[in-house]
Amino acid sequence: AQSVTQLDSQVPVFEEAPVELRCNYSSSVSVYLFWYVQYPNQGLQLLLKYLSGSTLVESINGFEAEFNKSQTSFHLRKPSVHISDTAEYFCAVSEGNTDKLIFGTGTRLQVFP
């Protein structure tokens, strides 16, 4: 069965510092990988996704994630965070033959001035 592990429930960081949010998954088949973000009092929004091809994917607001098949990881990184990046970040996986998303428990990123 698929599962997603987000190792850090909270990540506090100062503005302009780099950040990495970790995500590991388990699956016996090929998968699609997603990062969703939930800003305070808002719904979930897709941040970026990996389907196939280049293992490094980027979002429009400076985040990137790298698919590592051997380590079954899809860590999210940003070289310099802003206060506005404060949010809950969810890693999710879906197998190629099913539509449902399996989510991790989320990582709360708190950016301090």
- The residue with tokens 């990988």 is 33
Hey, what amino acid is at 84? S
Task: Give least dist CB 24 to other proteins, A.
Answer: 14
By the 8 A CB rule, do 35 and 76 touch? Answer: yes
Query: What is the size of the binding site for other proteins (CB under 8 A)?
Result: 27
> What's at 37, amino acid-wise?
V
End-to-end CA distance of the chain: 41
Contact region for other proteins (CB under 8 A) — 14-22, 57-65, 71-79, 102-110? Answer: 102-110
**Would you say 79 or 96 has its CB closer to other proteins?**
96
- Nearest one of 82, 39, 38 to 63, comparing CA atoms: 82
Of residues 12-71, those binding other proteins (CB under 8 A): 32, 36, 42-46, 49, 51
Contacting residues toward other proteins, per CB under 8 A: 4, 6, 9, 32, 36, 42-46, 49, 51, 90, 92, 94-106
